[in-house]
Structure 1
Amino acid sequence: MLKNIDPLLNADILHALCAMGHGDEVVICDANFPADSVARQTVLGRVLRLDGVSAPRAVQALLSVLPLDTFVDHPAERMEVVGDAQALPAVQREAQKEVDAAEGRAVPFAPVERFAFYARAKAAYCVIATGEPRGYGCFIFKKGVQLAPDAPQQN
């Protein structure tokens, strides 16, 4: 067992997150998302699983080790509700709290239309499928960099 690593993050997920580079994207999706077929088209080429875990809890675990990209306007994105682009279902509000807590500041999700989300997910580094039963528990995160304490800070 490793110290200070969220126990939800299994070896396959940690390996994928470590292998990702700055600007690569990871998808966390709900149980309704076509995770297996989409993941086959990603860089990793297979789905990673967190069965029995809610999407907000998966976001919390992921962001405990993954820095978000500070060079882009929207390093965190959510699947837009079909027919109501402004709607924020409970699962997305809960995940937003996890993002803000992990970053220590507000980092609002940008909406991505459903079919555009599928296309982006196929181009991602990897897809992490959760057991989230609620719809629209689907998110994209862009990996940033973790600077050494004495390195110049990012904007």
Structure 2
Amino acid sequence: MLKGISPLLSPELLKILAEMGHGDEIVFGDANFPAVSMAQRLVRADGHGIPELLEAVLELFPLNHYVTHPVMLMQVVPGDPVETPVWDVYRGLVDKVEEGIDFAEIERSEFYERAKKAYAVIATGEKALYGNVILSKGVIG
């Protein structure tokens, strides 16, 4: 056990966060996301929602300032009437650690292609539809 690190962050996830380099991306997949078929490295976080995992990770994880959008969301498919209030939660969590970060909304198939190339995918129990998010790792100055 370590002080100051959320117990939501498993040793496996901490190792992956530490291994990641500048520009590497990590995907937080909701419960419907095809994480197993997408992941080069898969971390299981079943039973946990993305907001609480994101809050814990953002305490340790620098966001990438060398890209326009270090936080990427899966865009709602045109015509789908789904609301995405969880996105406002994500924005609030990011703003707590760093204000002014721009989010991108990426078309579904493009999001999947990006996820296949990501350093790791975290499979969560998040039930919010379109709850998926990608973070791009920055540098510590």
TM-score range normalised by the length of the shorter chain: over 0.9
The 5 Å alignment of 1:74-89 reads: 74-83=69-78, 89=84
Shift, 1:134, TM fit: 1.5
Structure 1 residue 98: deviation in Å? Answer: 0.8
User: 2: CA distance between counterparts of 1:88 and 1:98?
Assistant: 19
Structure 1 stretches of 5 or more lacking a match? 148-155
Larger-gyration structure (1/2)? 1
Q: Are 1:63 and 1:102, in contact at CA under 8 Å, matched by a contact in 2?
A: yes
Tell me the equivalent position of 1:34. Answer: 34
Residue in 2 that maps onto 1:119 = 113
Alignment length (residue pairs):
140
Check conservation: 2:68, 2:102, Cα contact below 8 A: no
**Deviation, structure 1 residue 84:** 5.9
Displaced runs of 4+ in structure 1, greater than 4 A?
A: none
Give the letter aligned to residue 2 of structure 2.
L
Whole-Å separation in 2 of the counterparts to 1:146 and 1:61: 17
SS state of the match for residue 55, structure 2? helix
Task: Name the structure 1 match of 2:51.
Answer: 56
Cα contact 1:23–1:144 (8 A) shared by 2:
yes
In structure 1, the residue matched to 2:64 is 69
CA contact (8 A) 1:6 1:64 kept: no
1:60 and 1:102 in contact (8 A); partners too: no
Distance in 2, Cα, partners of 1:11 & 1:17: 10
TM-score, normalised via structure 1 length: 0.85
Matched AA of 1:141: L
RMSD: 1.5
| Cα pair distance change 1:122/1:6, threshold 3 Å | same
Query: Is the contact between residue 96 and residue 108 of structure 1 (CA under 8 Å) also seen in structure 2?
Result: no
**Under a length normalisation based on structure 2, what TM-score does the superposition of the two structures give?**
0.93
Unaligned runs of 5+ in 2: none
1:88 Cα deviation from its structure 2 partner: 6.1
* Contact 1:24–1:143, Cα closer than 8 Å, also in 2: yes
Counterpart residue number, 1:5: 5
Query: Identity of aligned pairs, percent?
Result: 46
Confirm or deny that 1:96 pairs with 2:91. yes
Q: Quote the Cα distance in structure 2 between the aligned partners of 1:52 and 1:96.
A: 22
Secondary structure of the equivalent of 1:15? helix
**DSSP-derived class of the 2:112 partner:** helix
Equivalent residues of 1:31, 1:133 under 8 A apart: yes
Contact 1:22 1:145 in 2 (8 A): yes
